[in-house]
Amino acid sequence: MQVLVRDNNVDQALRVLKKKMQREGLFRELKARRSYEKPSEKRVREKQEAVRRSRKAARKQAQREGLIPGPKRKPRPTDRPSAR
């Protein structure tokens, strides 16, 4: 994994790195490797994750087809002062 540091801004590069690591699931894997997980517990956890993924995919598909309403959107502020 590689992150470019621009203008000596290490703080921003660290934030980008952490976000990339989060997306890759590295933190979850490190937490899982701290202690031994029995094979039966691993099967149960993976089954639950698969069910969660399939439900999420079905919910997204239903939202795209218009069968259920999508997530509520935050109203955009319209009364901001104009820049002059």
- Give the SS3 label for residue 68: coil
**Residue 68 burial (10 A CB sphere; 0-12, 13-18, 19+):** exposed
- 16 and 44 housed in the same domain: no
Q: Which conformational region is residue 82 in: left (phi greater than 0), alpha (psi within -120 to 50 degrees), or beta?
A: beta
Say whether pLDDT at 81 is over 70. Answer: no
pLDDT of residue 75: 81
Residue 42 belongs to what domain range? 38-68
1 contacts: CB under 8 Å, gap ≥ 6: 17, 20, 21, 24
C-alpha torsion sign, points 52, 58, 63, 68: negative
Domain membership of residue 78 (yes or no) is no
Q: How many domains in the chain? A: 2
pTM of this structure: 0.57
Tell me, what's the pLDDT at 83?
58
